[in-house]
């Protein structure tokens, strides 16, 4: 793999679902060797969604979130598995997990045990609500966490009921804080030699992204209303209908100069003399009327036409892209954001690279098949013999 940020760092990923798995995938792009622990005894939920291939365990969701990791199967219900796990801990640097906090201690693999095996080990846990506190065992998926953070209540059209978001921002936020914590603890260990346990609450992670919602209350004792596309001061600032079915474009005007430009591009210079829209404040006050006028113009064009016209003139505008448009967008393509990989069983798969570019960030191979790296882990790393492996497989330890 050549030189990379985390070359020589080995990570054991006890992950499932989205946040933890994807954190493992990013760590692998950063150069770490990431070994995902799995078991037929209880498969990662994501292996079951959008099944591909003959074995039925290579799902779209799994392949998207586990790219670059290695898979090893160990049935943690068996005491022998726990001992094998400890051997792996001895030669690893990091254990990352997003299981509910009772799971790993339940296997006899709490932080104190890991530390006794390898004093330099770093454990990063990222359960939905953290590993401490009265509700730490609550069952948490993205929407559960977003509900607890104030995000869900604040999402929706102005004056209407809250509405469920189409994506779950709590998962990537939690995963990213997981990667951050691994890097922070590795930096600390590099200087001091000391390992540690870093505990993240995903519910807190997403709350750090919406401080305005919290501060409106702590500063002004007010619950921030649902605002849809309305900005505190910018107007026009909305998403407008375009030519075609369900086609939209966002336009955001900050300054007077941008307003002038917008009017000129629209061929509506008369609006510049209209008192209703003469300064930022009046435009904000009269934004409903303003939005109607703009929608009248945008309807004649495609989202891309509006975007390019306005951006070339210096006004912020962006097409509301659906997934097909995104993948085929010339800019996204040129930057190599989505990559087509050939998964050995699932076939042609579109995956996402890590969300930044730098010389030392790699884009690693497709997600592993279940137990694909058993030989590597048990023979190469742990020095087991074929006989031992066969015996453990028969006993459903390696399983």
Partner 1 sequence: MFYKVLDGVKVLEFGHLISGPFCAKILADLGAEVIKIEEPGGDEARKQEPFLGDIAGPERSGTFLYLNMNKKVITLNPATVTGRKIFAQLLAEADVLVENNSLKRMKTLKLTYTQIKKINPRIIMTSITPFGQTGPYKDYKGGELVNTQMGGVGFISTREPDTSKAPIKYPAHLFSYQAGLCAAVATMAALFYHRGTGSGEQLDISEQESTLIDVMNPVYNYSYTGHIASRAGVLTAAPTHLLPCKDGYIHNGFVRESHWRQFVNDVMGHPDWADKEIFKDYLSRAQHWDELRPLLVEWTMQRTVDEIYRESQGKRIPIGAVYTSAQVLQDRQMAARGFFVEVDHPQVGKIKYPGVPYRFSEISQDKPTAAPLLGQHNEEIYSRLGYSKRDLVKMEESGII
Catalytic residues: 171
The yes or no reply on residue 57 touching partner 1 (CB under 8 A) is no
Which of 24, 101, 127, 172 lies at the binding interface for partner 1 (CB under 8 A)?
172
**Polymer length of the chain:** 399
Q: How far apart are CA 222 and CA 108, in angstroms?
A: 47
Q: What are phi and psi of 21, to 5 degrees?
A: -60, -45
Which of 198, 263, 384, 398 lies at the binding interface for partner 1 (CB under 8 A)?
198
Going along 209-315, which residue ranges are E strands?
237-241, 248-252
The yes or no reply on residue 88 touching partner 1 (CB under 8 A) is no
Nearer to partner 1, 5 or 376 (CB): 5
Q: How far apart are CA 146 and CA 144, in angstroms?
A: 6
Residues 13-42 touching partner 1, rule: CB under 8 A, are 18, 22, 26, 30
Nearer to partner 1, 324 or 387 (CB): 324
Cα 256 to Cα 210, 235, 277, distances in angstroms: 28, 10, 10
Which of 34, 72, 88, 179 lies at the binding interface for partner 1 (CB under 8 A)?
179
Nearer to partner 1, 82 or 183 (CB): 183
Q: Nearest distance from residue 35's CB to partner 1, in Å? A: 19
* Three-state DSSP state, 254: coil
Residues 332-351 touching partner 1, rule: CB under 8 A, are 332, 334-335, 337-338, 346, 348-351
- Considering only CA atoms, which of 37, 26, 25 is closest in space to residue 372? 37
Nearer to partner 1, 79 or 244 (CB): 244
Cβ partners under 8 Å of residue 49, min gap 6: 59, 60, 61, 62
Of 82-90, 194-202, 262-270, 272-280, the window that binds partner 1 (rule: CB under 8 A) is: 194-202
Residues 349-388 touching partner 1, rule: CB under 8 A, are 349-352, 355-361
Angle at 259 between CA 255 and CA 262, to 5 degrees: 135
Cβ partners under 8 Å of residue 95, min gap 6: 11, 12, 14, 89, 114, 121, 122, 123, 124
Which of 87, 99, 231, 297 lies at the binding interface for partner 1 (CB under 8 A)?
231
Q: Nearest distance from residue 351's CB to partner 1, in Å? A: 8
Question: Does 236 sit behind a cis peptide bond, omega within 30 degrees of 0 on the bond before it?
Answer: yes
Of 66-74, 78-86, 240-248, 371-379, the window that binds partner 1 (rule: CB under 8 A) is: 240-248
Q: Nearest distance from residue 163's CB to partner 1, in Å? A: 5
Residues 131-170 touching partner 1, rule: CB under 8 A, are 132-141, 143-157, 161-169
Q: How far apart are CA 121 and CA 14, in angstroms?
A: 14
Q: How far apart are CA 14 and CA 73, in angstroms?
A: 11
Interface pattern 203-222 for partner 1 (x via CB under 8 A) = xxx-xxxxxxxxxxxxxx--
Residues 243-262 touching partner 1, rule: CB under 8 A, are 246, 248-250, 252, 254
The yes or no reply on residue 315 touching partner 1 (CB under 8 A) is yes
- Considering only CA atoms, which of 232, 207, 225 is closest in space to residue 148? 207
The yes or no reply on residue 223 touching partner 1 (CB under 8 A) is yes
């Amino acid at each position: 793999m050549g030189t990379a940020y985390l070359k020589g760092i080995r990570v054991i990923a006890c992950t499932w679902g989205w946040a933890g798995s994807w954190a493992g995938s990013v760590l692998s792009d950063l150069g770490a060797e990431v070994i995902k622990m799995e078991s037929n005894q209880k498969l990662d939920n994501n292996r079951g969604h959008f099944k591909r291939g003959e074995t039925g365990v290579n799902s779209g969701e799994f392949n998207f979130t586990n790219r670059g990791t290695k898979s090893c199967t160990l049935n943690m219900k068996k005491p022998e598995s726990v001992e094998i796990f400890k051997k792996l801990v001895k030669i690893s640097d990091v254990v990352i997990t997003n299981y509910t906090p009772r799971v790993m201690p339940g296997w006899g693999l709490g932080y104190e045990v890991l530390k006794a095996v390898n004093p330099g080990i770093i454990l990063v846990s990222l359960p939905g609500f953290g590993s401490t506190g009265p509700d730490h065992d609550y069952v948490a998926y993205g929407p559960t966490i977003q509900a607890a953070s104030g995000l869900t209540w604040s999402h929706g059209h102005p004056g209407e009921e809250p509405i469920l978001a189409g994506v779950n921002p709590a998962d990537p936020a939690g995963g990213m804080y997981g990667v951050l914590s691994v890097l922070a603890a590795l930096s600390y260990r590099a200087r001091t030699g000391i390992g540690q346990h870093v505990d993240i609450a995903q519910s807190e992670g997403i709350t750090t992204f919406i401080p305005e919602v919290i501060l409106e209350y702590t500063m002004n004792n007010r619950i921030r209303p649902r605002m849809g596309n309305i900005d505190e001061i910018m107007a026009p600032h909305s998403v407008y209908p375009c030519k075609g079915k369900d086609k939209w474009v966002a336009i955001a005007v900050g300054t007077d100069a941008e307003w002038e430009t917008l009017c000129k591009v629209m061929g509506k210079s008369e609006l510049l003399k209209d008192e209703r829209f003469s300064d930022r404040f009046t435009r904000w006050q009269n934004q409903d009327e303003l939005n109607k006028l703009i929608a009248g113009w945008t309807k004649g064009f495609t989202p891309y036409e509006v975007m390019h016209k306005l951006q070339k003139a210096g006004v912020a505008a962006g097409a509301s892209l659906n997934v097909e448009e995104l993948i085929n967008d010339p800019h996204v393509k040129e930057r190599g954001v989505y990559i087509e990989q050939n998964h050995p069983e699932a076939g042609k798969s579109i995956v996402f690279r890590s969300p930044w570019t730098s010389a030392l960030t790699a884009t690693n191979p497709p997600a592993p098949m279940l137990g694909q790296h058993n030989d590597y882990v048990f023979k190469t790393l742990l020095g087991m013999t074929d006989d031992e492996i066969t015996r453990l497989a028969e006993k459903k330890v390696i399983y």
